[in-house]
Structure formats: C-alpha cells, structure tokens
Amino acid sequence: MNYKIFGKKSGLRVSELVLGTGNFGTRWGHGATPEESKKVFDAYVAAGGNFIDTADGYQVGESEELLAGFIADKRDDLVLASKFSMGGSTLLTTGNSRKTMIRAVEASLKRLKTDRLDLYWAHLDDQHTPLEELVRGFDDLVRDGKILYAGLSNYPAWKIANASLLADLRGWSPIVGIQIEYNLIERTPDRELLPMAQSLGLGVAFWSPLAGGTLTGKYRTPSADKDNRQVAWGGLLVKGESSNRETLILDTLADIASTHQAKMLHVALAWLRQRHQPKELSTVTILGPRNVAQLQDNLDSLQVTLSDEEISRLNEVSAISLGSPHEIIKESQKLIYGDGFGRVLS
Ligand SMILES: NC(=O)c1ccc[n+]([C@@H]2O[C@H](COP(=O)([O-])OP(=O)(O)OC[C@H]3O[C@@H](n4cnc5c(N)ncnc54)[C@H](OP(=O)(O)O)[C@@H]3O)[C@@H](O)[C@H]2O)c1
C-alpha cells in the first residue's frame, strides 16, 4: 500500500486505497453482516489501509454504528470520513442547510462514538443551499473541533471552484477535496472535474471504481447466484454493459487481464491507480467490498502494474467526447499552431 498527501490543501496522509463502507450492514436489504463487516475492516487495516469512508445514510446508519466498535482502539491511526445531505428522510433532515449539517454531524459523532470526524463531505448538491452557508458552516465545525477537513461530493465543477475560492478569499477552512464517480465506464469527470481538481490542488476520491460490479465481468455470464447488487437494488449504483463502447471496454479488460494472469477487476483498479500519477493529481480509490474475499481480490490489484501501452489502450477504448468548448479549442489549436503549440508552451 502506498500513501499520499490528500491534495495540496491538506497535510492528511492517506492510503491510496480507501475502505468504502456502503456495504457495512444489511438495512438496505443487501450488504454485509456485522461479523463479515468486521472481517473486511480488519483485513483492510492489516493491509496498511488507513482511510475509511462512510456516510450518515449508509445502510440507514448501520455503517457508522458498526464502525464505532471497529475503530475504537485505532482511532488515531485512521482518517475517518463521513458525509451528510441524505441521512434523514424528512424535509429538515435532508439537504445541505446549516440546520441539517449541525444535526447530522452531531448524530454521526454519536453513532461513531468519536469526538470528531477527520473529513466531512457534503454528500450531494441539494441545489438550494447558498455556497456561503455551506462553506462557512464547514468552517464553524472546524473551529468547534467537530471536523478537521471538509470536502464536496457529487457537486458540479463550477460550484466547487466557487466554494474553494470563497473559502480561500475569506480565510475559511479550505475545501480540501472532491468525491466523484469515476471508472472506465464513467469518464465524464475528464471534462471539468478532474482538470479543476488539478488546477485547484484538490484531492480526489473515486467512488464506484468497478462501476458497481460490472467491471469484474460477473454480469456477462448468467449466474444462479442472485445475491448481487444488480438484483437486490434493481440496477441502482450498477453501470451496466449497454453499448458497444462498454462491450469494448470489458473485452479489452479481459484481454489485458489474461496477459497478466489477473482478473478484470485487477486491471480496472490498476488503471485508476496508474492513470493519474501523484505529480499531476492526488487521487485515491474508494473500494466497495461486500465480503472479505472481495476485499482481498480488490487489494490484489496492487500486484498488477500496467504498461504504458496497456494504459493507452484502455484510455482509448473508454474515451469520451469532451464536448464544447474543449473540442473546438483542440481543433482550433491544431489549425492555428499545428504541432508546434505544445512545444511553445512546454
Ligand atoms: N459519494 C457518493 O455519492 C458515493 C456513491 C457510491 C459509493 N460511494 C462510496 O464508494 C464506495 C465504493 O463504491 P461502490 O460500492 O459502488 O464500489 P464498486 O467497487 O464499484 O462496487 C462494489 C460492488 O462490486 C462488487 N464487487 C466488488 N468486488 C468484487 C469481486 N471481487 N467479485 C465480484 N464482485 C465484486 C460487489 O457487488 P455485489 O454486492 O453484487 O457482490 C460490490 O458490492 C462505497 O462503499 C462508498 O463508501 C460514494
């Protein structure tokens, strides 16, 4: 396991693989029992992992409740992150208002039986709360000692850039990172979110690195085992193989995996790890295992190193159109400057 500083706005030392705990508990009708969750947690820590991702809403609070028991004797050696926005079920217990934020952080601390969260994410843009209220709210929580760092999950790039600038100019605690859906199938963050994070020095945490299981290849062959997310959640949080592009991605993964005598998921996770080198952007991958065998399989991806040619192949088959204005900028640069443009600027 390697360690990184999470972006340029924090000194947080985090492992490159994060333990996602959306599967800790069974209140959503699909997940891991307390006993299995404990095995997953212990195996992750034994492998050198130190970054735990939960949320107030995961398995209706069960994820945080289970973690309370697991983290108690190693609290100082873990980076504990939780989220708010979707933990409640009523008008005033959801969203990102200051009222929801304060209630939610106090409830998370109680469930987790700890005094502070190391990193607190707004889970999702509620599209109403003014950014000033949110960022100043985070700053108050930092000053109160209830959280140490703040970040934004599932926010559009222009709002993150505004929030980050607001925090910097007003001397409030910075927005240190973003949490986004990113994997070989979902590459739209290449348009705005990733260049923004690089430019602003934000740490990046990728969620759904296996597209909810699709990149393991397990949905390509019919199986009698119906205990999977696709069936249990009716396709929620699973990006299926529904186009030629996705079929090509999965075929390429299978081909590269066979040359490494590895599994498709190892190659999918190795691509995420190698694609954004630390010098360019500080990225970590949030794993989502449902049992200890899946965790071990995910961790084994660290043994696979892809060649530059393999990374280029995967980049190409999964590439998306960057759209406007990126395409017209690229075309115009070629037209005006030819190949000399890169040389002039580098
Ligand atoms: N910020 C957000 O909005 C957000 C959203 C989603 C997730 N997250 C975070 O990111 C974490 C990871 O996301 P994710 O759970 O979607 O990740 P993922 O790795 O894309 O999907 C996890 C699922 O993949 C399947 N899987 C994993 N390893 C496998 C293996 N070795 N063999 C077969 N199947 C395997 C399992 O499916 P089955 O259950 O079918 O076995 C597992 O539940 C979450 O736990 C959470 O902490 C954040």
pLDDT in tens, 150-178: 999 999 999 999 999 999 999 999 999 99
How many angstroms is it from 247 CA to the middle of ligand 1? 20
d(CA 230, CA 333): 44
Evaluate whether 321 touches 191 at the Cβ level (below 8 Å): no
The preferred substitution site among 67, 181, 226, 229 for testing ligand 1, maximizing ligand atoms within 8 Å of CB, is 229
301 alpha carbon to ligand 1 midpoint, in Å?
15
Domain ranges of the chain: 3-345
Query: Is 205:178 a contact under the CB 8 Å cutoff?
Result: yes
Q: Note down pLDDT in tens along the chain; length 346 residues.
A: 999 999 999 999 999 999 999 999 999 999 999 999 999 999 999 999 999 999 999 999 999 999 999 999 999 999 999 999 999 999 999 999 999 999 999 999 999 999 999 999 999 999 999 999 999 999 999 999 999 999 999 999 999 999 999 999 999 999 999 999 999 999 999 999 999 999 999 999 999 999 999 999 999 987 778 888 888 888 888 888 889 999 999 999 999 999 999 999 999 999 999 998 767 799 999 999 999 999 999 999 999 999 999 999 999 999 999 999 999 988 888 888 776 555 555 4
Q: What is the pTM of this model?
A: 0.96
Residues in contact with ligand 1 (CB, 6 Å cut-off)? 20-23, 53, 123, 153-154, 179, 207-213, 216, 218, 228-229, 237, 265, 286-290, 294, 297-298
Residue 244: half-sphere exposure toward Cβ, Cα within 13 Å: 0
- Residue 162 neighbours by CB under 8 Å, 6+ apart: 131
**What's the CATH superfamily of 3-345?**
NADP-dependent oxidoreductase domain (3.20.20.100)
Nearest CA residue ID for atom 16, ligand 1: 208
- The rounded Å distance from CA 294 to ligand 1 centre is 10
Reported as a single tens digit per residue, the pLDDT across 48-103 is: 999 999 999 999 999 999 999 999 999 999 999 999 999 999 999 999 999 999 99
The whole-number pLDDT of residue 225 equals: 80
Mean pLDDT taken over the chain:
94
Nearest CA to ligand 1 atom 24: 213
Residue 55 Cα to ligand 1 middle (Å): 14
Q: What does the DSSP 8-state code read for residue 107?
A: H
- In the reported structure, the alpha carbon of residue 136 is separated from the centroid of ligand 1 by a whole-number distance in angstroms of 32
* Beta strands 3-5; 13-15: pairing state: antiparallel
Q: What residue type is assigned to position 260 of the chain?
A: H
- Please say whether the dihedral angle defined by the alpha carbons of residues 54, 59, 64 and 68, taken in this order, is positive or negative: negative
User: Quick one: DSSP state of residue 174?
Assistant: P
pLDDT in tens, 260-275: 999 999 999 999 999 9
Cα(163) to centroid(ligand 1), Å: 29
